[in-house]
């Protein structure tokens, strides 16, 4: 027994030295510096586990370097801290590919067949490939024009109708997150899927809420049939519902977006039963971030009387009352004449977003003519790094400033590329205008028509420590009851749509005169 301890210590020391030698022999001097390697290959895992979402911020603040390497067993991660490197990464969208990651996500998350997966993986960096073609198919449906207008109109009509009904009921108590989540789910899905929207069935809505928390188990292939059993059953239930939707041709009464998604699958010879699976990913795109984002916007609008007063005042300037007493507001007023509301939305997104952009190096690449990125490695660009950068946002970076994004004459604005909520370049979220419009319009009607007070009398922001990892906007750890009190006499409100096809400056790529390399 006396030899056991020395032998164990010797084995540990030998293993440590082996790892240390392996690290130094396999780390090229031209690569970004390797950090968090006191225990080679394992320190990053331990620190990410203990520090959670603050890990990347802590590393940025400790080392203050533009980009660094994390060595993990079998792989490299390059963490990009510097905003100046992002345009270079975005320009190299074939060499530093997101579509290569996307193909793997599709296979694991939605469970497509090997044949469909092969179609998705074919020519993954070529314009002729399925995933590189996808933005072209959906572009017209999600850009300013009749396709987007129709989706916006339908989703806003659903919101207006629901709020009219709530106003007529008088004061009502609801659980805020649960209620907001339902309202936006119905508005979003009605806009996309049309009159035969499967989410009209409460069972479909509940299936989505059951599936979503287990998504990471699917992505990591951690035997979801066993360890995410309820999520697995919910996914398969939704697939069967989508099969009926597509087989019956219900999508033909839906939006241009859902028609475009069917068309690309048909053009690439993907059968409808697989289109049903792929639509799980389509639902994820329109729901996972929009629903919690709306909750946090509503929380910040109503929990601060100054924010509420400022937003209510600018919105009220666009309200019209006809001879019958019916109130109306035009969508164009909300989109173009309410900078405080838009700024509040963007500030909420800045503070809460956990979005992380990723790329895979398809070959060795010299980034910015300085840093060697090895083939097969993963490039990580966490939005939290850029959204909490004091050099960009100033000393109030950790505070909620609802007017932060309002441009002031003669004052230098924030570098627009620092706002990374919707990604950037070829991976810029194509649905950002649809999501932003419905969130703003829901918020506007709620601010104009209701007062909201917590039943416990005090606004307390829920924590988000237990939120699922996959959504880029965190889900609150707990819900709380609030009272909705109509501010008017319950008469209906209408939303008009003159000039509603105008775009908004949400991200750098939307701003006129933005550098061309932002669009790569």
Sign (positive or negative) of CA dihedral 404, 406, 411, 414? positive
Written as six digits, the tokens of 416 are: 């627009």
Residue 121 main-chain phi, psi, to 5 deg: -80, -15
For residue 508, what pLDDT is reported?
Answer: 66
pLDDT band at 17 (very low <50, low <70, confident <90, very high): confident
Q: What is the 3-state secondary structure (H, E, C) of 23-78?
A: HHHHCCCCCCCECCCCCCCCHHHHHHHHHHHHHHHHHHHHHCCCEEEEEECCEEEE
Closest CA to 211 of 238, 184, 175, 180: 238
User: 3-state DSSP call for residue 329?
Assistant: strand
Per residue in 431-458, pLDDT (tens digit) is: 999 999 999 999 999 999 999 999 998 9
* Averaged confidence pLDDT in the chain: 91
Res 264 pLDDT > 80: yes
Of residues 53 and 504, the one with the higher pLDDT is: 53
pLDDT band at 516 (very low <50, low <70, confident <90, very high): very low
Across 128-137, 199-208, 349-358, 464-473, least confident range = 464-473
For residue 169, what pLDDT is reported?
Answer: 92
For residue 518, what pLDDT is reported?
Answer: 44
Mean pLDDT of 78-103: 94
pTM, two decimal places: 0.92
The answer to whether the CB of 395 falls within 8 A of the CB of 106 is no
167 to 114, 136, 164, 184, 496: CA distances (angstroms): 51, 42, 5, 17, 19
Cα–Cα distance measured from residue 205 to residue 196, given in angstroms and rounded to the nearest whole number:
14
Closest CA to 331 of 457, 500, 502: 500
Cα–Cα distance measured from residue 77 to residue 419, given in angstroms and rounded to the nearest whole number:
22
The answer to whether the CB of 88 falls within 8 A of the CB of 424 is no
Cα–Cα distance measured from residue 80 to residue 86, given in angstroms and rounded to the nearest whole number:
8
Mean pLDDT of 327-339: 93
Which letter, b or e, does each residue of 417-435 get, where b requires 16 or more Cβ atoms within 10 Å of its Cβ? bbbbbbbbbbbbbbbbbbb
* Ranges 21-25, 245-249, 413-417, most confident: 245-249
The answer to whether the CB of 484 falls within 8 A of the CB of 151 is no
248 to 65, 183, 251, 257: CA distances (angstroms): 56, 27, 8, 18
List of long-range contacts for 52-60, beta carbons under 8 Å, 24+ apart = 52/465, 53/354, 53/384, 56/380, 56/382, 56/384, 56/385, 57/384, 57/385, 57/388, 59/35, 60/385
Per residue in 99-148, pLDDT (tens digit) is: 999 888 888 999 999 999 999 999 999 999 999 999 999 998 998 889 99
Written as six digits, the tokens of 148 are: 């987007």
For residue 64, what pLDDT is reported?
Answer: 94
List of long-range contacts for 299-302, beta carbons under 8 Å, 24+ apart = 299/176, 299/459, 299/461, 300/344, 300/347, 300/348, 300/400, 300/402, 301/344, 301/443, 301/446, 301/447, 302/447, 302/452, 302/459
Give burial (CB, 10 Å; 0-12/13-18/19+) of 188.
buried
CA 501 to chain centroid, in Å, comes to 23
Per residue in 165-205, pLDDT (tens digit) is: 999 999 999 999 999 999 999 999 999 999 999 999 999 99
């Amino acid at each position: 027994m006396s030899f056991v301890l020395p032998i164990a210590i010797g084995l540990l020391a030998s293993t440590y030295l082996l790892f240390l030698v392996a690290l130094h022999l396999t780390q090229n001097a031209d690569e970004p510096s390797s950090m968090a390697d006191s225990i080679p290959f394992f320190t990053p895992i331990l620190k990410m586990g203990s520090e959670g979402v603050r890990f990347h911020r802590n590393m940025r603040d400790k080392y203050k370097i533009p980009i660094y390497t994390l060595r993990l067993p079998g792989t490299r991660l390059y963490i990009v801290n510097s905003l100046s490197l992002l345009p270079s990464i975005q320009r190299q969208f074939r060499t530093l590919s997101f579509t290569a990651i996307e193909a793997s996500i599709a296979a694991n998350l939605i469970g497509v067949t090997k044949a469909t997966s092969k179609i998705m993986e074919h020519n993954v960096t070529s314009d002729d490939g399925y995933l590189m073609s996808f933005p072209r198919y959906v572009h017209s449906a999600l850009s300013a024009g009749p396709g987007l207008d129709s989706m916006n109109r339908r989703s806003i009509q659903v919101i207006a109708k629901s709020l009219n009904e709530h106003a007529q009921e008088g004061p009502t108590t609801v659980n805020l997150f649960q209620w907001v989540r339902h309202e936006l789910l119905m508005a979003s899905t009605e806009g996309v899927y049309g009159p035969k929207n499967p989410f009209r069935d409460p069972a479909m809505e509940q299936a989505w809420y059951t599936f979503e928390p287990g998504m990471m188990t699917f992505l990591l292939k951690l035997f979801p049939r066993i360890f995410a059993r309820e999520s697995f059953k919910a996914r398969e239930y939704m697939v069967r519902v989508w099969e009926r939707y597509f087989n019956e041709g219900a999508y033909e009464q839906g939006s241009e977006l859902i028609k475009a998604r069917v068309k690309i699958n048909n053009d690439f010879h993907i059968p409808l039963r697989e289109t049903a699976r792929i639509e799980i990913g389509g639902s994820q795109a329109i729901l996972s971030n929009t629903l919690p984002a709306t909750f946090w916007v509503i929380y910040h609008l109503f929990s601060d009387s100054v924010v509420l007063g400022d937003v209510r005042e600018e919105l009220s300037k666009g309200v019209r009352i006809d001879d019958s007493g019916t109130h109306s507001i035009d969508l164009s007023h909300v989109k173009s004449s309410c900078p405080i509301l838009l700024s509040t939305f963007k500030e909420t997104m800045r503070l809460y977003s956990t979005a992380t952009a990723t790329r895979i190096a398809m070959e060795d690449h010299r980034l910015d003519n300085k840093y060697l990125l090895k083939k097969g490695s993963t490039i990580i660009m966490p939005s939290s790094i850029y959204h909490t950068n004091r050099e960009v946002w100033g000393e109030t970076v950790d505070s909620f400033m609802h007017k932060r994004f309002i441009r002031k004459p003669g004052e230098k604005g924030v570098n627009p590329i620092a706002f990374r909520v919707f990604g950037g370049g070829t991976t810029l979220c194509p649905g950002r205008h649809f999501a932003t419009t419905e969130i703003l319009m829901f918020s506007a009607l709620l601010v104009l028509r209701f007062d909201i007070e917590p039943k416990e009398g005090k606004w307390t922001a829920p924590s988000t420590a237990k939120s699922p990892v996959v959504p880029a906007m965190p889900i609150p750890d707990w819900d709380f009851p609030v009272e909705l009190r109509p501010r008017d006499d319950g008469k209906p409100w209408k939303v008009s749509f003159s000039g509603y096809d105008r775009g908004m400056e949400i991200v750098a790529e939307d701003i006129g005169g933005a550098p061309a390399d932002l669009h790569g």
